[in-house]
Every structure is written in structure tokens, then in C-alpha cells.
Amino acid sequence: MDSSLTGIISSIKEKLDVLDSVRNEALKISRDVIRLSGWCITKLHEGDLDNALKHLDECRKTSRRLLEMTQPHPELYYSGFVNNAVSEYVEAEIFYSIVSRNYIPSPSDIDVPIVPYLQGLADTIGELRRMALDYLGKKNIDSAEKLFNWMYTIYTELKGLDYPDSLIPGLRRKVDVDRRLVDDTKAFLVDLESRYELIGLMEKFRGAQ
């Protein structure tokens, strides 16, 4: 009896040793994905599309490597740290696509599972708001409004996904945050447009005197 259990535990230990080794390597790669996606997003905010694409290309390869490595191990493939890293890549990919091509790729376009895709899509709203505010600071209302329209579209589509947290972890919380970001940005846009309209009327009035 004891020797039989010893054999069972020994077999389990062999599998856990492999899993632990893959996990350690996957953790390192996940940190690379997060770092590269951050660099891509930073370059997009700086208006440097060429270097943003270079970082994105590297991030894309690294994310694919992470998914391929963990796919044979469901315990890791569907784990929080893998989803988190891939969602960061998705955020960079979607943000780049909107800024450079006015387009949102699908999960199949970028070859990612739907959970990190939805998480990354939700996080994109924060970066769109940040860029929209930069445009407003430069009095570029048209560009800010285009980004706001993307914010609103993404939020509207995501809030319609009424599924439990066990299916799409963290999405409800992200959508709640997105709602506040969309509302705040809309109020800011309306207020600023009103101010600019008032300034324009005052300048016309002065010119008519």
C-alpha cells in the first residue's frame, strides 16, 4: 500500500517539477511582455510611431512565445499572470491600431484568447483618454473627439457583456472604471468646447466694434 502511494506521489512530483520549471520561465517572459508593451505605449504618446511599432513587434513575438509555452499546461495558460501579461500586449496592439490605422483588431487578428483580449480592450480606454487630454491641451479638439468616440464605442460594447466574473475575470470592474473615464472626458470636452465657442463670440464682438 505504502509503496503504491510512493509511486503515485513520485509521478505527481515529476509533473510538478516540469510545471514549476515552465512557470518560472513563463514569469520571466511575462515581465518582458509587460515591459515591451509599456515602451510601445510610451512611444505612441510621444508621437513616435516608428519606434512604437518596433517595440510592438517585439512584444507580439514575446507574447506569442508565452502563450505557446504555457498552452500545454492549462494550469498556467489560464492563470492570472499569463492573462495579465497578454492583456498588456493587447492594450498596446489595440492602442497602436487605433492611433495609426483608426481600426481595432479582433482576437483572431492578433492570435490571443478572448479573456485577455477583453481585459486589454477595456484598459485601452485609459490610454485613449490620456492622449485625448493631450490633444485638448494643444487645442486640437477634432483629434480629441475622434479618440473620445473610440472610448465611447469600446465602453458601450463592453458594458453589454453581462457574464459572471468567473468567465471574464475583472472585466466588470474595468468597465465600471471606464464608465467614469468616459463620463469625465465627455464633460471636459463639452466644457472646453463651450469655452472656445464663447471666446470665438467675444473675438467677433470685439472685431465688430
Per-residue pLDDT of the chain (209 residues; tens, 9 = 90+): 567 899 999 999 999 999 999 999 999 999 999 999 999 999 999 999 999 999 999 999 999 999 999 999 999 999 999 999 999 999 999 999 999 999 999 999 999 999 999 999 999 999 999 999 999 888 888 899 999 999 999 999 999 999 999 999 999 999 999 999 999 999 888 877 666 654 453 444 445 45
How far apart CA 159 and CA 175 sit, in angstroms, is 6
Cβ 116 vs Cβ 86: under 8 Å: yes
Outline which parts of the chain fall under CATH 1.20.58.2140.
1-112, 125-209
How far apart CA 52 and CA 192 sit, in angstroms, is 30
Cβ 155 vs Cβ 175: under 8 Å: yes
- Non-local (6+) Cβ contacts of 165 within 8 A are 171, 172
Cβ 41 vs Cβ 92: under 8 Å: yes
Reported pTM: 0.89
How far apart CA 36 and CA 166 sit, in angstroms, is 29
**3-state SS, residue 131:** helix
Domain spanning 125-209, CATH architecture: Up-down Bundle (1.20)
Q: Does domain 1-112 have CATH number 3.40.50.300?
A: no
CB-count exposure of residue 8 (10 Å: 0-12, 13-18, 19+): exposed
Taking residue 13's Cβ as centre, other Cβ atoms within 10 Å add up to: 10
